């Protein structure tokens, strides 16, 4: 919590003062100006967006298509996204009023929280979790409630542990699987158990499925596709990770009409519409990007195997992450905190990883290593980490 004491600082809202700058960004400021660093840090693909996707946007710009779109997003993009969800997971959403195209899942998360939360409403989430989860809840006036998860359970969450946290103030459960930072997935049965708890207690489930396409052990289970939960679910998805489109800033929320209408009200006054060229690129991605996704996922899988084996071999126990592009090894054998480990590794060996503590209390004792980087860099990073671990082992 940052409470500013300066005269101007006192004018900053309590809600803003309550949140800290992202632990990821703070750490990456240290990187500025350092030469020869191998980054396993920022969570984004090392690929450029496939050219045919970028080209579609370039052509639209050449034709002067630079105007606002409908607040909800280009109809064709909404139609294609709904069709995609139907083909992939068998769920039906209406392009006219059950989907909103957003500025990435980032905006969709913020809108979802602001649309449903009253002051002090509680949102249950896992610890560790993606850095924006608690921040968006706090900024919307709500209260994040943590459910600890651990390597012992492969960082999946048990429905009974979530149920134990439900109070009269609980408005929603926020899940994000495959997970950033752990790479964990939720087995279908565990999602079914969670669905039963949400239904019984009439609680909304916000399911951030931005990594849905990045799974390495069978297909992803879409939460909204489970029997009887669609009416209580806000499903968030996007183009950033699967299509290597982080900088385009385009994602979506699908949910029952009343929720989408509420989210659209906020979106239309604050954002108007997602960037027009980015929406054009997303249309192209859905039409012709499937082969690219499959190729990139195959490649991440090769890198995943190398890094997980490598980390275990050098004495940093790492459970097998089955989704996203993160490995989350324990650094406890070194006796260092995750911040000390990350800072030391950067200064002594020029390898950037993110301290697990940036993702919540239960992230302490771990670091996040993003393996969306070349195999050569992964192999070199592992050599440097081995040296560091040998030097610091308790």
The residues of the shown chain that bind ligand PLP, judged by CB under 6 A, are 43, 104-106, 130, 176, 180, 208, 210, 238, 240, 246, 251
Q: CB of 209: closest distance to ligand PLP in angstroms?
A: 9
DSSP secondary structure of 111-156: HHHHHHPPTT-EEEEEES--THHHHHHHHTT-EEEEEE--GGGTT-
What's the chain's length in residues?
394
* Residue nearer to ligand PLP on the CB measure, 95 or 323: 323
Please identify the residue of the shown chain whose CB is closest to the bound ligand PLP.
104
Q: Are 36 and 260 in contact (CB under 8 A)?
A: no
Q: CB of 182: closest distance to ligand PLP in angstroms?
A: 11
The reply to whether omega before 128 is within 30° of 0 (cis) is yes
Cα–Cα distance for residue pair 124/31, rounded to 1 Å:
34
* Residue nearer to ligand PLP on the CB measure, 251 or 329: 251
* Residue nearer to ligand PLP on the CB measure, 39 or 334: 39
Q: CB of 253: closest distance to ligand PLP in angstroms?
A: 11
* Residue nearer to ligand PLP on the CB measure, 105 or 316: 105
Per-residue DSSP letter, 217: S
Q: Are 158 and 180 in contact (CB under 8 A)?
A: no
* Residue nearer to ligand PLP on the CB measure, 106 or 154: 106
Q: CB of 256: closest distance to ligand PLP in angstroms?
A: 21
Q: CB of 155: closest distance to ligand PLP in angstroms?
A: 13
* Residue nearer to ligand PLP on the CB measure, 105 or 203: 105
Q: CB of 324: closest distance to ligand PLP in angstroms?
A: 7
Q: CB of 131: closest distance to ligand PLP in angstroms?
A: 8
- By three-state DSSP, how is residue 22 classified? coil
Residue 393 tokens, joined: 């082992």
* Residue nearer to ligand PLP on the CB measure, 180 or 225: 180
Beta strands in the chain (DSSP E): 38-39, 99-102, 122-127, 143-148, 170-175, 204-208, 233-238, 251-254, 326-327, 351-352, 354-355, 367-370
* Residue nearer to ligand PLP on the CB measure, 48 or 164: 48
First to last CA, the chain: 32
Q: CB of 43: closest distance to ligand PLP in angstroms?
A: 5
Comparing CA positions, the residue from 151, 172, 148 lying closest to residue 160 is 148
Pairing, β 233-238 against β 251-254: antiparallel
Could you identify the residue written with the tokens 């275990």? Answer: 312
Helices (H) and strands (E) in the chain, counts: 13, 12
């Amino acid at each position: 919590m940052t409470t500013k004491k300066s005269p101007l600082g006192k004018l900053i809202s309590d809600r803003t003062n309550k949140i800290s700058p992202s632990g990821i960004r703070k750490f990456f400021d240290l990187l500025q100006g350092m030469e020869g660093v191998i980054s396993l840090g920022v969570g984004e693909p090392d690929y450029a967006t496939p050219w045919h996707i970028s080209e579609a946007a370039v052509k639209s710009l050449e034709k002067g298509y630079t105007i606002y779109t409908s607040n909800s997003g280009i109809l064709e993009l909404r139609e294609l996204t709904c069709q995609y969800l139907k083909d992939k997971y068998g769920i039906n959403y209406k392009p006219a009023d059950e989907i909103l195209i957003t500025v990435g899942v980032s905006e969709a998360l913020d809108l979802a929280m602001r649309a449903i939360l009253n002051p002090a409403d509680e949102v249950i989430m896992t610890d560790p979790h993606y850095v924006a989860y608690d921040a968006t809840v706090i900024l919307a006036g709500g209260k994040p409630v943590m459910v600890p998860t651990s390597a012992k359970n492969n960082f999946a969450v048990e429905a009974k542990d979530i149920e134990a946290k439900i109070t009269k103030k609980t408005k929603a459960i926020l899940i994000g699987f495959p997970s950033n930072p752990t790479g964990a997935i939720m087995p279908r049965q565990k999602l079914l158990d969670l669905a039963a708890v949400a239904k019984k207690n009439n609680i909304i489930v916000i399911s951030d499925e931005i990594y849905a396409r990045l799974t390495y052990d069978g297909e992803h289970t879409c939460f909204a596709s489970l029997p009887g939960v669609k009416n209580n679910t806000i499903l968030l998805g996007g183009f950033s990770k699967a299509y290597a489109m982080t900088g385009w800033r385009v994602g979506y929320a699908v949910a029952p009409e009343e929720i989408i209408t509420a989210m659209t009200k906020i979106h239309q006054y604050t954002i108007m519409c997602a960037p027009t060229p980015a929406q054009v690129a997303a249309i192209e991605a859905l039409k012709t990007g499937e082969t690219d996704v499959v190729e990139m996922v195959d490649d991440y899988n090769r890198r995943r195997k190398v890094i997980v084996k490598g980390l275990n071999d050098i004495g940093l126990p790492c459970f097998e992450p089955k989704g996203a592009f993160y490995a989350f090894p324990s650094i406890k054998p070194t006796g260092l905190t995750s911040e000390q480990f990350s800072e030391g590794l950067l200064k002594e060996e020029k390898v950037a990883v993110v301290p697990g503590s940036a993702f919540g209390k239960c992230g302490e004792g771990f670091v996040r290593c993003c393996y969306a980087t070349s195999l050569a860099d992964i192999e070199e990073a592992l050599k440097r980490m081995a040296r560091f671990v040998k030097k610091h082992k308790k």
